[in-house]
Amino acid sequence: MQALLEDHLLVEDLKQGSEEAFKALVELYQRQVYNTAIGLLRSPEEADDISQEVFIEVYQSIARFKGESKLSTWIYRITVTKALELMRYKKRKKRFAPIISLFNSDGEQMVDPADFAHPGVKLEQQENASVVFAAISKLPEKQQAAFTLHKLEGLSYQEISQVMKTSISSVESLMHRAKTNLKKRLKNYYYVTKA
Protein backbone atom coordinates (compact mmCIF):
# COMPACT_ATOMS: atom_id res chain seq x y z
CA MET A 1 0.00 0.00 0.00
CA GLN A 2 2.88 2.35 0.89
CA ALA A 3 4.51 1.73 -2.53
CA LEU A 4 1.25 2.56 -4.34
CA LEU A 5 0.93 5.80 -2.38
CA GLU A 6 4.55 6.71 -3.15
CA ASP A 7 3.99 5.85 -6.84
CA HIS A 8 0.89 8.06 -6.89
CA LEU A 9 2.79 11.01 -5.38
CA LEU A 10 5.71 10.48 -7.75
CA VAL A 11 3.36 10.38 -10.76
CA GLU A 12 1.62 13.57 -9.63
CA ASP A 13 4.98 15.33 -9.25
CA LEU A 14 6.07 14.07 -12.68
CA LYS A 15 2.86 15.37 -14.22
CA GLN A 16 3.70 18.78 -12.73
CA GLY A 17 7.09 18.63 -14.51
CA SER A 18 9.23 18.20 -11.39
CA GLU A 19 12.88 17.54 -12.25
CA GLU A 20 13.44 16.09 -8.77
CA ALA A 21 10.62 13.60 -9.34
CA PHE A 22 12.15 12.60 -12.67
CA LYS A 23 15.57 12.07 -11.06
CA ALA A 24 13.90 9.97 -8.34
CA LEU A 25 12.07 7.93 -10.99
CA VAL A 26 15.30 7.22 -12.86
CA GLU A 27 17.13 6.24 -9.66
CA LEU A 28 14.24 4.01 -8.62
CA TYR A 29 13.78 2.16 -11.93
CA GLN A 30 17.01 2.42 -13.95
CA ARG A 31 18.36 -0.92 -12.77
CA GLN A 32 15.16 -2.84 -13.58
CA VAL A 33 14.88 -1.14 -16.99
CA TYR A 34 18.52 -1.82 -17.88
CA ASN A 35 18.44 -5.44 -16.67
CA THR A 36 15.24 -6.16 -18.60
CA ALA A 37 16.65 -4.55 -21.75
CA ILE A 38 19.99 -6.35 -21.54
CA GLY A 39 18.25 -9.64 -20.80
CA LEU A 40 16.35 -9.31 -24.07
CA LEU A 41 18.97 -7.59 -26.24
CA ARG A 42 22.25 -9.04 -24.88
CA SER A 43 24.10 -5.84 -25.71
CA PRO A 44 25.17 -3.31 -23.07
CA GLU A 45 25.18 -0.47 -25.63
CA GLU A 46 21.67 -1.30 -26.88
CA ALA A 47 20.42 -1.76 -23.31
CA ASP A 48 21.79 1.72 -22.45
CA ASP A 49 20.09 3.21 -25.51
CA ILE A 50 16.78 1.51 -24.75
CA SER A 51 16.98 2.60 -21.10
CA GLN A 52 17.34 6.21 -22.18
CA GLU A 53 14.47 5.84 -24.64
CA VAL A 54 12.27 4.33 -21.93
CA PHE A 55 12.79 7.25 -19.55
CA ILE A 56 12.25 9.76 -22.35
CA GLU A 57 9.00 7.97 -23.21
CA VAL A 58 7.92 7.95 -19.55
CA TYR A 59 8.69 11.67 -19.25
CA GLN A 60 6.85 12.54 -22.46
CA SER A 61 3.79 10.38 -21.84
CA ILE A 62 3.35 10.56 -18.05
CA ALA A 63 0.31 12.80 -18.54
CA ARG A 64 -1.48 9.86 -20.19
CA PHE A 65 -0.66 7.45 -17.33
CA LYS A 66 -4.03 6.74 -15.70
CA GLY A 67 -2.80 4.61 -12.82
CA GLU A 68 -4.78 1.54 -13.94
CA SER A 69 -1.62 -0.50 -13.33
CA LYS A 70 1.36 0.03 -11.07
CA LEU A 71 3.94 2.51 -12.29
CA SER A 72 6.56 -0.27 -12.40
CA THR A 73 4.27 -2.39 -14.60
CA TRP A 74 3.84 0.48 -17.04
CA ILE A 75 7.61 1.07 -17.14
CA TYR A 76 8.31 -2.65 -17.71
CA ARG A 77 5.74 -2.62 -20.53
CA ILE A 78 7.48 0.30 -22.23
CA THR A 79 10.87 -1.40 -21.80
CA VAL A 80 9.72 -4.73 -23.25
CA THR A 81 7.95 -2.99 -26.14
CA LYS A 82 11.01 -0.91 -27.05
CA ALA A 83 13.38 -3.88 -26.74
CA LEU A 84 11.15 -6.07 -28.92
CA GLU A 85 10.86 -3.28 -31.50
CA LEU A 86 14.67 -3.07 -31.69
CA MET A 87 14.94 -6.86 -31.96
CA ARG A 88 12.46 -6.86 -34.87
CA TYR A 89 14.37 -4.04 -36.54
CA LYS A 90 17.67 -5.94 -36.17
CA LYS A 91 16.11 -9.11 -37.62
CA ARG A 92 14.79 -7.18 -40.64
CA LYS A 93 18.15 -5.48 -41.10
CA LYS A 94 20.00 -8.79 -40.79
CA ARG A 95 17.65 -10.45 -43.28
CA PHE A 96 18.30 -7.75 -45.88
CA ALA A 97 22.03 -7.29 -45.13
CA PRO A 98 23.21 -9.54 -48.03
CA ILE A 99 21.02 -7.63 -50.47
CA ILE A 100 22.12 -4.26 -49.11
CA SER A 101 25.79 -5.28 -49.30
CA LEU A 102 25.38 -5.88 -53.04
CA PHE A 103 24.52 -2.20 -53.48
CA ASN A 104 26.38 -0.57 -50.61
CA SER A 105 29.93 -1.39 -49.59
CA ASP A 106 29.32 0.30 -46.21
CA GLY A 107 26.59 -2.21 -45.21
CA GLU A 108 26.79 -2.71 -41.46
CA GLN A 109 26.85 -6.37 -40.50
CA MET A 110 24.75 -7.37 -37.50
CA VAL A 111 26.63 -9.68 -35.15
CA ASP A 112 25.42 -11.17 -31.88
CA PRO A 113 27.97 -10.53 -29.14
CA ALA A 114 29.54 -13.88 -28.32
CA ASP A 115 30.98 -12.66 -25.03
CA PHE A 116 27.75 -11.22 -23.63
CA ALA A 117 27.64 -11.06 -19.82
CA HIS A 118 24.52 -10.09 -17.87
CA PRO A 119 25.37 -7.81 -14.92
CA GLY A 120 23.50 -10.09 -12.50
CA VAL A 121 25.60 -13.19 -13.33
CA LYS A 122 28.63 -14.07 -11.22
CA LEU A 123 31.97 -14.20 -13.05
CA GLU A 124 32.43 -17.96 -12.63
CA GLN A 125 28.99 -18.62 -14.16
CA GLN A 126 29.32 -16.32 -17.18
CA GLU A 127 30.35 -19.03 -19.67
CA ASN A 128 27.26 -21.09 -18.86
CA ALA A 129 25.14 -17.94 -18.80
CA SER A 130 26.27 -16.88 -22.28
CA VAL A 131 25.12 -20.25 -23.65
CA VAL A 132 21.79 -19.91 -21.83
CA PHE A 133 21.31 -16.32 -23.05
CA ALA A 134 22.09 -17.39 -26.62
CA ALA A 135 19.37 -20.06 -26.29
CA ILE A 136 16.93 -17.53 -24.80
CA SER A 137 17.58 -15.19 -27.74
CA LYS A 138 16.36 -17.92 -30.12
CA LEU A 139 12.96 -18.15 -28.40
CA PRO A 140 9.94 -16.48 -30.02
CA GLU A 141 9.57 -12.87 -28.81
CA LYS A 142 6.72 -13.36 -26.35
CA GLN A 143 8.36 -16.42 -24.77
CA GLN A 144 11.61 -14.49 -24.51
CA ALA A 145 9.90 -11.52 -22.86
CA ALA A 146 7.94 -13.65 -20.37
CA PHE A 147 11.00 -15.75 -19.50
CA THR A 148 13.21 -12.68 -19.01
CA LEU A 149 10.67 -10.89 -16.84
CA HIS A 150 10.08 -13.97 -14.68
CA LYS A 151 13.54 -15.51 -14.38
CA LEU A 152 15.77 -12.42 -14.54
CA GLU A 153 13.54 -9.73 -13.07
CA GLY A 154 11.60 -11.94 -10.66
CA LEU A 155 8.15 -10.76 -11.72
CA SER A 156 5.20 -12.96 -10.84
CA TYR A 157 2.96 -14.40 -13.58
CA GLN A 158 0.31 -11.87 -12.59
CA GLU A 159 2.74 -8.96 -12.96
CA ILE A 160 3.93 -10.33 -16.31
CA SER A 161 0.33 -10.63 -17.50
CA GLN A 162 -0.13 -6.93 -16.71
CA VAL A 163 3.12 -5.93 -18.41
CA MET A 164 2.33 -7.98 -21.53
CA LYS A 165 -1.40 -7.19 -21.46
CA THR A 166 -2.41 -10.84 -21.52
CA SER A 167 -4.00 -13.41 -19.23
CA ILE A 168 -2.17 -15.29 -16.49
CA SER A 169 -2.94 -18.57 -18.29
CA SER A 170 -1.26 -17.16 -21.42
CA VAL A 171 1.83 -16.31 -19.36
CA GLU A 172 1.82 -19.84 -17.91
CA SER A 173 1.63 -21.22 -21.43
CA LEU A 174 4.44 -18.94 -22.66
CA MET A 175 6.64 -19.99 -19.74
CA HIS A 176 5.91 -23.69 -20.29
CA ARG A 177 6.77 -23.43 -24.00
CA ALA A 178 9.87 -21.34 -23.23
CA LYS A 179 11.15 -23.94 -20.74
CA THR A 180 10.41 -26.78 -23.16
CA ASN A 181 12.22 -24.99 -26.00
CA LEU A 182 15.19 -24.16 -23.78
CA LYS A 183 15.47 -27.77 -22.60
CA LYS A 184 15.62 -28.91 -26.23
CA ARG A 185 18.19 -26.26 -27.19
CA LEU A 186 20.39 -26.81 -24.13
CA LYS A 187 20.14 -30.60 -23.96
CA ASN A 188 23.24 -31.21 -26.09
CA TYR A 189 25.27 -28.50 -24.37
CA TYR A 190 24.67 -29.85 -20.88
CA TYR A 191 25.13 -33.43 -22.03
CA VAL A 192 28.54 -32.55 -23.57
CA THR A 193 29.74 -30.38 -20.65
CA LYS A 194 28.79 -32.97 -18.02
CA ALA A 195 30.13 -35.98 -19.95
Res 127: pLDDT: 62
pTM, two decimal places: 0.71
Res 42: pLDDT: 87
C-alpha closest to that of 29 among 74, 84, 67, 65: 74
C-alpha closest to that of 161 among 119, 169, 176, 24: 169
Res 193: pLDDT: 43
The rounded average pLDDT for each run of 10 residues, N- to C-terminus, in the chain (195 residues) is 70 93 94 93 93 95 90 95 90 57 43 49 58 85 92 91 94 95 81 43
Architecture per CATH, 2-194: Orthogonal Bundle (1.10)
Res 104: pLDDT: 43
Res 117: pLDDT: 53
Query: Measured between alpha carbons, how far is residue 34 from residues 79, 80, 135 in Å?
Result: 9, 11, 20
